[in-house]
A and B are shown apart, each in its own frame.
Chain A
Amino acid sequence: MLTEGGSFMKGMMLGSLFCLVLSFIGSFSPSTEYKVEDHHHHHVKAPSKDELKQLGDSEMQELSKQVQVYCVIMVQPKILVYWATALDTWSKHCDKPVFYTSENSKALEAFDLNEKDDWARLRKALKHAYENAGDIRWFFVAQPTTFAIIENLKHLVLTKDPSEPFYLGNAMKSGELDYVSFDSGIVLSYEALKRLVEVFNDQDKCPEKRGALWKMTDDKQLAECLKYKGVFAENGEDAHGKGLFNSKSVESLIKDGMRDHPNNVVEGCCSDMAVTFTGMSPSQMQVMMFGVYRLRPYGHDFHDHLVFYPPEGSDND
Chain B
Amino acid sequence: MKQMWQHSLFSCGLIVGFLTLHILLESKFATVRTVAYDGDGLRRVHTAVNKSSDRPSSNGARVLCWIMTGPKNIESRVRHIRQSWAQRCGTVLYMSSVETDFPTVGLNVSEGRENLYWKTIRALQYIHQHHLNDADWFLKADDDTFVVVENLVHVLAKFDPEEPLYLGRHYAPFVRQGYMSGGAGYVLSKEALRRFVQGFSTGSCSHSSTIEDLALGQCMEKMKVQPADSRDLRKRQTFHPYPPDYYLLRQPQRPRPWYLLYEHYPPVEGPGCCSDFAVSFHYIHSVQLYVLQYLTYHLRPYGYKYRYNPDEKIEGNSIYVSHKIQTFASKPLH
Contact = CB atoms under 8 A, between A and B. Distances in A.
B296 A16 contact: no
Nearest to A9: B13
B325 to A, nearest CB: 9
A3 B19 CA distance: 23
B276 A307 contact: no
Nearest to B79: A262
B106 to A, nearest CB: 27
Interface stretch (B114-122, B123-131, B182-190, B301-309): B301-309
Interface string A287-317: 1111111111111101011111111100111
Given A96-B334, A302-B300, A10 B36 contact: no
A12 B17 contact: yes
B261 interface: no
B328 A61 contact: yes
A254 B303 contact: no
B12 interface: yes
A204 interface: no
A95 interface: yes
Contacts of A310: 304-307
A16 B24 CA distance: 10
Nearest to B60: A299
A19 B231 CA distance: 59
Interface in B286-334: 286-288, 290-308, 326-334
B306 A296 contact: yes
Contacts, number: 273
B20 interface: yes
A64 B330 contact: yes
A287 B248 contact: yes
Given A3-B6, A19-B21, A240-B44, A293 B301 contact: yes
Interface in B259-307: 270-272, 274, 276-278, 286-288, 290-307
A309 B301 CA distance: 11
Contact of B333 (A63, A95, A296, A317): A95
B16 A12 contact: yes
A57 B328 CA distance: 8
A7 B9 contact: yes
B150 interface: yes
A194 B245 CA distance: 42
Interface string A103-145: 0000000000000000000000000000000001000000000
B244 interface: yes
Interface string B2-39: 00011101111111111111100100000000101010
A316 B271 CA distance: 5
Given A14-B17, A251-B287, A287-B244, A293 B304 contact: yes
Contact of A95 (B7, B294, B334): B334
Given A265-B290, A297-B296, A95 B6 contact: no
Contacts of A61: 327-328
Given A64-B330, A255-B287, A309-B305, A295 B296 contact: yes
Interface of A: 3-4, 7-20, 23, 30, 33, 36-37, 40, 57, 60-61, 63-65, 67-68, 88, 92-97, 136, 149-152, 154-155, 240-243, 250-251, 254-255, 257-258, 261, 263-270, 272-274, 283-284, 286-300, 302, 304-312, 315-317
15 contacts: A7-B13, A11-B17, A33-B43, A64-B328, A64-B330, A240-B44, A254-B290, A288-B295, A290-B271, A292-B299, A296-B276, A298-B153, A299-B56, A300-B297, A306-B303
Interface of B: 5-7, 9-22, 25, 34, 36, 38, 40, 42-48, 53, 56-57, 80, 83-84, 148-151, 153-154, 244-245, 248-250, 270-272, 274, 276-278, 286-288, 290-308, 326-334
Given A15-B21, A269-B290, 4 more contacts: A33-B43, A240-B47, A265-B80, A308-B329
